[in-house]
Structure 1
Amino acid sequence: MPRFKSPHLLVAESGADRAGHGLRRTMGLFQLICFGIGAIVGTGIFVGLSDSVAQAGPAVVVSFVLAAITCVFTALSFAELGGAIPVSGSSYSFAYAGLGESTAFLVGWCLLLEYGISISAVAVGWSQYVNELLHSLTGLQLPHAVSAGPGDGGIVNLPAVIVIAMAAVLLVRGVRESARATAAMAAVKLVILVAFCAIGFSAFKDGNLVPFSPAGLGGIGAGTTAAFFSYIGFDAITTAGEEAKNPRRDIPVAILVCMGVVTLLYCAVALAATGAIGGDQVAGRPAALSYVVNQVTGSTIGGGVIAFGAVVAIASVVLAVMYGQTRILMSMSRDGLIPRVFEKVSPKTATPVAGTLIVALVFALPAAFASLDAVMNLCTIGTLAIMAVVNVVVIALRRREPTLARTFRVPLYPVVPLLGVGFCLYLMYETGWTTWVQFAVFLAMGLLVYVGYGRRNSTLARAAAVTPDATDAVLQEA
């Protein structure tokens, strides 16, 4: 029989609605919006744009819109659940309430891809722009052997390790400090991208958009899958449920504002880049935005400014995504599904210091030795699977918990969450069969971990061992 936790029990156990809990409520609506933008805007647009253009050509704008539609459907579901269940566990906790413990564990396992692996992928992208910035300032670059992993022809990617270490240090100092840094970096990246659009549109030529879709609908579909990586991270806002001042009101608003701002910005950047120099010049180009500005201005100064913005932007993504990963692991640890070390919160800094350092160490390894392409598709399919589950959870909880207080409701229910599931499945299909095989192996590993450790050590299992009806009693009491 599946083990469920009611939303009320999840909130009660997290301490989200009581004083004296280890985490502190310091984030207002503005900080949440900055945190969301900080988690989203980074490698996907600064590095991944060239891959999307390589697939779709100038029609990459359409790909960004389709990827945004996929995310908007799910963002509405996240908004409803984030306001109703304001805890740090995000989609993991939502799945626990709506679909049961085993599904929740696999969602948490997939979150290792969305958050953990994307930390590594983003750090690799940061390394590319560090080299671009150094080149524009000094004419020199880091030796390839220490700025790229073996998959990209190097030995070890030291800049990628350094940015993860810096994010970990900032996170263990406290959420208030991290939020301030994220807000500052979000402002810098928005100014830089707006400046890029101004430069790109100043050289815009209609002829550069012809042919608009050189690979047809298939290219647009493949470009949509690549563009989707640019939106990964918006759900990180829900991981701040226990550190937001008014999570039931602010989390839904922050999610919807972030999605609107980011979508408009991405479409403008894609149109400016391809309209300025043509899709064939952007496609497959490392540090593509800097290259576009250099070509338009005839100088490396503008490209250096863009590279500086990218260094700041991508660093903020590492910070925000690592924050989300540690909070999800903390929720899973509370439930006994993973070791207890991840739930320990420092009384001095009110942060999970041990969990943060472990996450930094584990995901610095693939950042040091893996290429960006090697992890991007696997990260994408894992994220899409989570998003599909979240849409299903909205439907499940509407039936299971009809009286649950919801500060936001998905409009046009159940059409919107069903469309969210459909779009997610389509983009998962577009990742290709090799990615599906890798994902299946990853899920099988997760299922083995759950059966071998999580199922026996979960708090619900221990409660049932003490009293056979304990789990039902706890759920009824909640």
Structure 2
Amino acid sequence: MDTVDTRPEARAREASTRRLTRRQPVQRLVGEAAGSPLKRTMGVAQLTLLSVGATLGTGIFVVLGQAVPEAGPAIVVSFLVAGVTALFSALSYAELAGMIPGSGSSYSYAYATLGELVAWVCGWCLILEYGVSVAAVAVGWGQYVNELLDLTFGVTLPDSLSAPPGAGGTLNIPAALIVVLAMVVLLRGAKESAVANTIMVAVKIAALVIFCAVAFTAFRAGNFHPLFPLGAAGMSAGAASLFFSYIGFDAASTAGEEARNPQKDLPRAIILSLVLVTALYVLVAVAALGAMPWKQFAGTEATLSEVLVRSVGGGSLWPILLSVGAVVATTSVVLTVQYGQIRILFAMARDGLVPPLFAKVHPRTGVPRANTVIVSGFIAVLAALVPLGSLADATSIGTLFAFMLVNLAVVLLRRRSPDTPRSFRVPFSPVTPLLGVGFCVYMLGSLGADTWIAFGAWMAAGLVIYGLYGIRHSKLAQTSPEDLA
């Protein structure tokens, strides 16, 4: 009798579990991407610069002051170590982007391998990562604009108009303004956005090259002796701090449905962007450390302009040039990361996990217009009113969690779909992607308790939304079990 009584409950539990673990067939994802209403306008150059634009931003303009005291001259090695750490995940992104060239990035990869619930969690992490990071960069943009106004005209915006409540102000108008301006560009179309990003990336690369050229005139090889004054532990600490300067290389993977030849161009763009960014970081670090002894970085913000003023002089010229570069760099990051946020929500809406309004595409521009306006409005309010502070650290958890899932997806898809065409294959799999998982777990373990608490609250809210809406409206709920992966 007991067995008969519990059988319906067992079947109910099994059905519930199956709903949470149902997977998108790879061929279905590929078919949706092939029939996408988005316009295919980007080649490998634009895709590469999209990732460079999302990666090369505020980090390099301020990171030296925080990281050099931890590692000394070994910060150059730290950049390489952090770059290699990012490379493990970049290789996995390259394989999956070529295999599943959609707009969902790691959300779609998780959906094909780990099931709907994990895919939702991954997408929710990406919303946190992209949304909060755009708001944080927008706040930084306002600070750089204020610095530039001070250097060129001797005026600054009052705190009441350039800082949020809780940080001495009322409304951060510059931060909201740059988000709205990025929205205007994005609404014009992917091609126009790519052109704007290309111009801005060229300007910020030029600014960094100018910095290196000037700094090398004051280069002293003795500044690198000893190379490891704080030991290997200092170098590792520096690498951990610098890893987050590489976040953004995956931006090209959100443009899979707007790439002209996604199977070939997406893997190339992801790898090329990471190589280019790493080379620039190392070059800037060598120039900065060669121009100014590492101990002088302690206790200062040590922006690149400060390095030039202290080492080669030049009055206010270098601070102005570097401030212009910083303003352009942060503008590019806001534009490209905002773009990625919108495309991920587009993919989630198409799957039914968020309202269909986010997947509605304007017939003339090929842009998810309502999605763009809603996301931009939310980010603008966040940037204007919230003093982000340590909350921005929560983006690190979202990023690392997504990276971890992408590495796992490579291993699983090699087993489940060995015959599916791949335009790029991660070398030495499964060792390479498993190393990527290990590095992500290590980085996650180094994050503080406050960050984990904020992340837990965000995840709890996400699971409530999924339980109330996503699981009921999922397109896979309308698919027969035999058709699921």
Of 33-42 and 436-445, deviating more is 436-445
Give distance in 1, aligned partners of 2:233 and 2:172: 34
Which consecutive unaligned segments of at least 5 residues does structure 1 have? Answer: 465-469
Letter in 1 for 2:200: M
Letter in 1 for 2:99: A
Q: For residue 10 of structure 1, what is the aligned residue in structure 2?
A: 29
Q: For residue 367 of structure 2, what is the aligned residue in structure 1?
A: 351
Is it true that 1:437 corresponds to 2:453 in the alignment? yes
Q: Which residue of 464, 467, 472 corresponds with 2:482?
A: 472
Report the CA distance between 1:276 and its aligned residue.
1.9
Letter in 2 for 1:38: G
Is it true that 1:111 corresponds to 2:121 in the alignment? no
Distance of aligned partners of 1:52 and 1:100 in 2 relative to their CA distance in 1, 3 Å threshold: same
Distance of aligned partners of 1:342 and 1:116 in 2 relative to their CA distance in 1, 3 Å threshold: same
Letter in 1 for 2:482: D
Q: Please list, as runs of the form range in 1=range in 2, the aligned pairs for 1:10-89 lying within 5 A after superposition.
A: 10-13=29-32, 16-18=33-35, 21-89=36-104
Q: For residue 395 of structure 2, what is the aligned residue in structure 1?
A: 379
- Provide Cα deviations, 1:371-418, integer angstroms capped at 9, x if missing partner: 464233211121011101100000011111111110000001111001
TM-score by length of 1: 0.92
Of 133-142 and 238-247, deviating more is 133-142
Report the CA distance between 1:226 and its aligned residue.
2.5
Distance of aligned partners of 1:432 and 1:394 in 2 relative to their CA distance in 1, 3 Å threshold: same
TM-score by length of 2: 0.91
Report the CA distance between 1:151 and its aligned residue.
5.2
Q: Which residue of 146, 157, 161 corresponds with 2:172?
A: 157
Q: Is the 8 A contact 1:282 1:288 kept in 2?
A: no
Report the CA distance between 1:148 and its aligned residue.
2.7
Distance of aligned partners of 1:344 and 1:144 in 2 relative to their CA distance in 1, 3 Å threshold: same
Q: Is the 8 A contact 2:164 2:386 kept in 1?
A: yes
Which consecutive unaligned segments of at least 5 residues does structure 2 have? Answer: 1-17
Q: Which residue of 190, 194, 206 corresponds with 1:179?
A: 194
Q: For residue 343 of structure 2, what is the aligned residue in structure 1?
A: 327
Query: SS where residue 79 of structure 2 aligns?
Result: helix
Q: Which residue of 416, 422, 425 corresponds with 1:400?
A: 416
Report the CA distance between 1:216 and its aligned residue.
4.5
Q: Is the 8 A contact 2:80 2:278 kept in 1?
A: yes
Report the CA distance between 1:364 and its aligned residue.
1.8
Q: Is the 8 A contact 1:47 1:125 kept in 2?
A: no
Is it true that 1:122 corresponds to 2:122 in the alignment? no
Distance of aligned partners of 1:311 and 1:181 in 2 relative to their CA distance in 1, 3 Å threshold: same
Of 135-144 and 257-266, deviating more is 135-144
Q: Which residue of 229, 248, 253 corresponds with 2:244?
A: 229
Report the CA distance between 1:152 and its aligned residue.
4.3
Give distance in 2, aligned partners of 1:246 and 1:431: 38
- Provide Cα deviations, 1:129-174, integer angstroms capped at 9, x if missing partner: 2122212211222223322334544333221111111100000111
Is it true that 1:100 corresponds to 2:110 in the alignment? no
Q: Is the 8 A contact 2:23 2:113 kept in 1?
A: yes
Q: For residue 293 of structure 1, what is the aligned residue in structure 2?
A: 308
Q: Is the 8 A contact 1:66 1:224 kept in 2?
A: yes
Give distance in 1, aligned partners of 2:304 and 2:441: 31
Q: Which residue of 180, 196, 212 corresponds with 2:211?
A: 196
- Provide Cα deviations, 1:90-111, integer angstroms capped at 9, x if missing partner: 1000100011111100000000
Query: SS where residue 403 of structure 1 aligns?
Result: coil
Query: SS where residue 47 of structure 1 aligns?
Result: helix
Give distance in 2, aligned partners of 1:153 and 1:291: 26
Q: Is the 8 A contact 1:50 1:288 kept in 2?
A: yes
Q: Is the 8 A contact 2:54 2:332 kept in 1?
A: yes
Q: Is the 8 A contact 1:225 1:431 kept in 2?
A: no
Of 200-209 and 293-302, deviating more is 200-209
Give distance in 2, aligned partners of 1:324 and 1:211: 42
Report the CA distance between 1:294 and its aligned residue.
2.6
Q: Please list, as runs of the form range in 1=range in 2, the aligned pairs for 1:306-321 lying within 5 A after superposition.
A: 306-321=322-337
Counting aligned pairs with the same residue, the percent is 51
Give distance in 1, aligned partners of 2:353 and 2:153: 50
Give distance in 2, aligned partners of 1:260 and 1:188: 19
Give distance in 2, aligned partners of 1:80 and 1:93: 13
Letter in 2 for 1:33: T
Q: For residue 161 of structure 2, what is the aligned residue in structure 1?
A: 146
Q: Is the 8 A contact 1:136 1:301 kept in 2?
A: no
The CA RMSD over aligned residues, in Å, is 2.0
Q: Which residue of 348, 355, 362 corresponds with 2:378?
A: 362
Q: Which has the larger radius of gyration?
A: 2
Is it true that 1:267 corresponds to 2:277 in the alignment? no
Distance of aligned partners of 1:55 and 1:251 in 2 relative to their CA distance in 1, 3 Å threshold: same
Q: For residue 467 of structure 1, what is the aligned residue in structure 2?
A: none
